Structure formats: structure tokens, C-alpha cells
Structure 1
Amino acid sequence: MGELFFHNVTGQKRAAGHLSDMVRTGRILHAMILTGDAGSGRHELAEAFGAALLCEHPVERDGFLEACGECRSCHQAKSGANPDLITVRNVDPKTGKMKPPGVDDIRRMRDSVAILPYYADHKVYILPLADKMGAQAQNALLKTLEEPPAYAVLLLLAGSTDGLLPTVLSRSVTLRLQAVSSDLIEKDLVSRGIDPKKAHRYASLANGNPGRARLLSGSESYEEFFRQVTELFRDLPKKSAGDLSLASARILGTDADFDAEEEFYFLAEMYVRDLAAGLANAPSLIFHSPITYSNHTVENEPSLTFDQVERLRLAVSNARERRARNGDPVMTCELMLLSMRDALS
């Protein structure tokens, strides 16, 4: 079980307030879609809402009506053993990673929905990666969405609504989570025992996502990875095709506790964004701030033009599209770096 309380979910007061008000008024929606990137707090909010809805003695705390944390229901929720608060899990047995619920998972959930709550007035179902579910699984979900029992509450967690069928969207209410300020993320990291200087660095790298900041700040390999990437971008104009081929294989082959490929493309996007921000005399967040590991600032770049920055942006965008079409990871990375080098030359 995650945070359990609304007030512990970083930077999502608006969404938490809506969910808390439902508990307070008793006007519970039967199907909601919580949209936000992984790490934005969508799962924590869903768990906090479920815990508050099932709590025997909900309490007012910091402006929210939320779980007391002391009753039987709350103790069961904390341990992940509350029979009326169910996460529909589909774990890959080989990798241990969570996959979107499949049609069989949804059918089992439908059978469970037909059973009355064990203790509370509601049964809450949390569906992670709902926007990644296939059409067959989503269609299997429709029957429950169309004719839900009065006690059933379904919380669909999604990166966006793009992957959800119109029939699912029309039977649900969407609650969008917001990006979180770097100041709030920094405070959250410090409260978790992270060194203030590191907290500032990772809050800047979080892109408004507290979960991302926590993941990177807890990584044993991220700082070295970041140093290698920033130095690669700094020295791009000097690199040969062979150098870039070796760099691509080395970076994507990083043995890390984070997704090295996704992080590399994210940093490439931030690098281009920072260059554009520098040309526009706007504040930048990563590569031209005090947290950088090198003196890689716009001032000591060659005089760039907006056309060059656009070519850099296209190089990264094209690489993203290639990977989405299952292009070879190393070759795609190498082509992107070659295009970026040529744009800087």
C-alpha cells in the first residue's frame, strides 16, 4: 500500500480535494480515469481515495477528509490486504514488471464485482496502465461500466486518455493530475532524507514528476549516467561517427535501476529545450543551471541559430518516432547523435 493519505501526495491538492469531497458528501462516481505520468501520484491518490472511502472513521486533516489510519480497514489497506480495495494486477512472470490488465484479468474482476463488499459499503478497484489495455480487455470492461452495482467504484489509471476507447471514456469521468513545481518536489525529497543539494538537482530533473525524482535520487548509477550524457552533448561537434557508435552502445547498455534508453531521450529533449531557452533569453532548468556537471552553458556554445535548434529538435523527434516503430535501439540512437552533430557543425 502506498501513501494512504491525501495530504501525503505531493503537489496534487486539486485532484485530492475533488476525491476528498466525494467522500465527504457521499456523492461517489462509479468510474473515474486518473490521468498523469507514471510517478505523478495517480496510484497514491487512488489508494488514498479507496482507503478514505472504506475507512470506518474518516478524519479531517489538512483540509481533506481522509482515512484515519487506525481502524481495521486502514490497517488492512496499509498491508495491501483489504478485500474491498483491489488492484487489478497483471505481472509479467519473467520480468516482474507490471503489464496492462488483459481480458482474462478483466473477466476475473467482473466476477469479483458481482460479490458484495466484505466489510464496507463500497468495493474499490484500481486498474493500472488502463490506457495500455487492448480493445478486447476494454470491451470486457464495458459491461461493468454500463451497469455497475451501487457499491462498485472503478479507478482507471492512465498516462492519457488517447489509448482508451470512446465507449470507455463516455462512461467515466476524467480527473487530470497536474505537473508539480520543482520547489514542492525538492521539499518532498528533503523530507525523505535526501541531501538538499541533491534534492535540488533531482527536482530540476523531475520534469514536474515527484515519482521520477524519487526514483532518480535513489539510483546508485544515475549520477554517472548523467555525467556521461552531458559530456557527450558538450563534445558532440568533435565526435567522429565511430565515437558516436561506441557512445550509443555504451549508454544504451548501461546496467541501471532506471530505463537508460528512455532517460537518454528525455535528456536529449531537455538539452534541445535548454538551447532554445538560451536563445530566447528564457530561464533553463537542466543543462544551463548550477546543477550541471560540466560548464556546458549557452554562453560557451558556438553562436547557434533557431534553424540549428530546430534541426536538433527534429533529430530527437525522429528518433522517438523510429523507436515507436520498433527501430533498432543502438542504430536509432547513433543516427540521432549524427544528426545532432551535423546540426551543431
Structure 2
Amino acid sequence: MAELNEILGNERIKEHFITAVHHKKISHAYIMEGDKGSGKKMLAEAFSKILQCEGRETTGLVESCGKCESCIQMEHHDHPDVIWVSHEKPNVISVGEIREQIVNTVEIMPYKGPYKIYIVDEAEKMNAAAQNAILKTIEEPPEYAVIFLLTTNRGAFLDTILSRCILLATRPVPGTAVEKYLVEKCSVSKEEAEFAAGFSLGNIGKAEAIVSSEEFQDLKELTLSILRYIHEIESYEIADKVKEYKKYKNRIEDFFDIFLMWFRDIMLLKADNSVNAEAAKKKIIFKNEYAYLKKQVDKLDLEAIDYVIGKIHRARVRIKSNVNFDATLELLIVEARREF
């Protein structure tokens, strides 16, 4: 696992943690909000490692020593006083799970460390009963308890929980920093790193997943084979292409992102009134597809592009609502084609 000072970006959160340790003012409850892959888990783990480090007091440094038993246990994800709260159902964290794993155990003193740390990933999935169950612990915690609620949506929490937690929001990492990281750590080409950094919008976890996934590359190529010729594709071709997406159902969000980024690039090129084509090209994500994009720019007005982007968002919602998979994708492609 990464040390706090090795984590890319989110300097404000890292500075907050360092200051808290330095002044010995550790909050009992943190809400860490950010997109999936934005580094919430890494930040929570790295901070927990510092808090539990046995060698820190002797070094006087605000960092983990990496050598003591606690640090080694953290590296192996088996520290007895750092508990990752789990849940059985994919879409909900129940009141029973919160009671069993937090409420009923928090009064038990830490086994070895100075803190007993609970990390609740996907905390927005706690139902109202679960949130009310954890609320009392947040309101009246033992002095050694620290709770991290990791979430993609703070709006899912009760106001009473929000008011009693320190809110820390992750931020996108600058594109150049993501590119450098991918080239150095993932051994990819500058071109691949540039695309992943742009496509992920500074989400380092997502960028790393993109360059390391052959499945993503296959999905990207399939989707581009539609987008390059979407203005002239035949109805029977649409139906055939959509059938190929069945094997990518678990990555359908990536399909929508690719579709969205394509029309975002068209909008950028359309809105750029500069005569310098190279300057405009530098702004887009699909740089290798510039020739295809430019052809479509000349066929669409901004209102049509905005309409298609709206249809992409609507299709994403329909899929989440379990509307027919094939029909939703086919309708989206047909609606996009009509605007040309």
C-alpha cells in the first residue's frame, strides 16, 4: 500500500491529515467523498497506517515507519484494529451489518494500537436505519474510535451525520501528473497515457484501470467502430453491433463514457473558432480520431450535440433502472444518427 506522501494529488486532504497528527487533533468521524477510483481508500489506509504506527513516536515524524509490526500488518491488510465494514447485498448496507460490525464492537478496547479504526466503503449504501444506528457512535464515540465513511455521494447521508463529520472531498489530479505516473509506473506509451489521463478526467484509479485493461481497449475499439461512421450507419448494422455489447455488460459505464467523450470532443471542436487546427486538436481526448471528428463537426450544430449528450445521460439512467439492455443501446445510437 502507498504511503501518504506517495499518493498522487489531493494535497489538501494529505495536508489536513498531517496537521491533525502533528497537533494530535484526530477527528472521530470523517466523510471522504469522491468518484470511484479517486483515491479515497488509499488515503484512508495511509492515514490509518500513520495513526497505528508504533515507531512514529520515536522518529518524531508525521509518517509511518514502515518497519514496526503495526505497519507490516497494515501492509498485509490484517491489522486487528483497522476494520473494513463489509455487506452482503450489493446495493445496501443494512442496520444489522452496522450494529454487528461497529456498534456492538466499538466499546471493546483496541487490541494493540492507540486507535480502533472503522472504514465503511460505499457508505452511501447505508439505509436510513443503518445511518441512525451509526449516528449514536458518531455522536458519543470512545476516545480511541475513528470512523471513515467513504462515499461517492454525500447527499445520501442524514443531515445529523453530515453535521458531525469532517468532510473531505477528493479532487481530480492534473492531467500532466497522471500522464507522468502512467508512463513511469505502468510502462505505457506517452500517447496511451495522454488518452487515459484525459478520458479519466484526472481520476488516477480510473486512468490506471484503462491502461491495464485489455477488455477496455476492446470495448473502446468496438464503440469507435460505431462512432466513426455513426452519421451513415445502417439500421441492421446497429442491431448487429449492439449484440456484441452483451459481453461488456459489466463495463457499460465505460461505453457511455466513450460515447459522451466523443460528442464532447465534437462540441469542443465546434465551439472553437480558432483557425489554428492544431490548437483545437490539443484540447480533445480522441486525438487519433481527429479526421473522423472533424467530418462530424461540419454536420452538427451545437443544439444537436447538446441533444445527443442529453440522450446519453438518459440512456445511462435507463440502464440503471433495468430497462432492456439491447433496446436502450440501439435507441441511443439511432437517436444520435438522426441528428446528422
Q: Using structure 2 for the length normalisation, give the TM-score.
A: 0.90
**How high is the sequence identity, in percent, across the aligned residues?**
31
Asked whether the 8 Å contact 1:101–1:128 carries over to 2, the reply is no
1:13-162 alignment to 2 at 5 Å? 13-58=11-56, 65-90=62-87, 100-108=92-100, 109-162=102-155
Which residue of structure 1 aligns with residue 275 of structure 2? Answer: none
- Give distance in 1, aligned partners of 2:169 and 2:184: 26
Asked whether the 8 Å contact 2:179–2:193 carries over to 1, the reply is yes
Asked whether the 8 Å contact 2:266–2:297 carries over to 1, the reply is no
Asked whether the 8 Å contact 2:173–2:204 carries over to 1, the reply is yes
Is 1:236 the counterpart of 2:230 in the alignment?
yes
- Give distance in 1, aligned partners of 2:128 and 2:221: 42
Deviation at 1:75, TM superposition (A): 0.6
Deviation at 1:99, TM superposition (A): 5.8
Asked whether the 8 Å contact 2:231–2:296 carries over to 1, the reply is no
Deviation at 1:77, TM superposition (A): 0.7
3-state SS of paired residue (1:17): helix
Range 188-197 or range 332-341, more displaced: 188-197
Q: Unaligned stretches of 5+ in structure 2?
A: 273-279
Is 1:278 the counterpart of 2:269 in the alignment?
yes
3-state SS of paired residue (1:221): helix
1:212-251 alignment to 2 at 5 Å? 212-251=206-245
Which residue of structure 2 aligns with residue 320 of structure 1? Answer: 316
| Amino acid aligned to 1:275 | I
Deviation at 1:69, TM superposition (A): 0.8
Kindly provide the CA deviation profile for residues 235-280 of structure 1, in whole angstroms up to 9, marking residues without a partner as x.
112122222122222124338xxx4211011111111211111111
Asked whether the 8 Å contact 2:33–2:40 carries over to 1, the reply is yes
| Amino acid aligned to 2:204 | P
Displaced runs of 4+ in structure 1, greater than 6 A?
none
Distance 1:36 1:152, change over 3 A: same
Kindly provide the CA deviation profile for residues 17-52 of structure 1, in whole angstroms up to 9, marking residues without a partner as x.
111211111101111100111110000000011110
- Give distance in 1, aligned partners of 2:149 and 2:187: 32
- Give distance in 2, aligned partners of 1:65 and 1:241: 62
Distance 1:60 1:130, change over 3 A: farther
1:298-309 alignment to 2 at 5 Å? 298=294, 301-309=297-305
3-state SS of paired residue (1:145): helix
Q: Unaligned stretches of 5+ in structure 1?
A: 93-97
Range 203-212 or range 298-307, more displaced: 298-307
- Give distance in 2, aligned partners of 1:101 and 1:66: 33
Deviation at 1:183, TM superposition (A): 1.2
Asked whether the 8 Å contact 1:316–1:336 carries over to 2, the reply is yes
- Give distance in 2, aligned partners of 1:284 and 1:140: 48
Range 227-236 or range 192-201, more displaced: 192-201
| Amino acid aligned to 2:41 | H
- Give distance in 2, aligned partners of 1:215 and 1:78: 22
Q: Pick from 312, 329, 334: which aligns with 2:325? A: 329
- Give distance in 2, aligned partners of 1:222 and 1:49: 32
Kindly provide the CA deviation profile for residues 141-189 of structure 1, in whole angstroms up to 9, marking residues without a partner as x.
1121111111100000001212112222122121011011121111222
Which residue of structure 1 aligns with residue 203 of structure 2? Answer: 209
| Amino acid aligned to 2:262 | Y
Deviation at 1:60, TM superposition (A): 12
Deviation at 1:332, TM superposition (A): 1.0
- Give distance in 1, aligned partners of 2:63 and 2:94: 32
Distance 1:230 1:43, change over 3 A: same
Range 206-215 or range 189-198, more displaced: 189-198
Which residue of structure 2 aligns with residue 95 of structure 1? Answer: none
How many residue pairs match? The answer is 329
- Give distance in 1, aligned partners of 2:303 and 2:296: 19
- Give distance in 2, aligned partners of 1:299 and 1:12: 39
3-state SS of paired residue (2:105): helix
3-state SS of paired residue (2:22): helix
Distance 1:285 1:137, change over 3 A: farther
Asked whether the 8 Å contact 2:315–2:328 carries over to 1, the reply is yes
Asked whether the 8 Å contact 1:101–1:127 carries over to 2, the reply is no
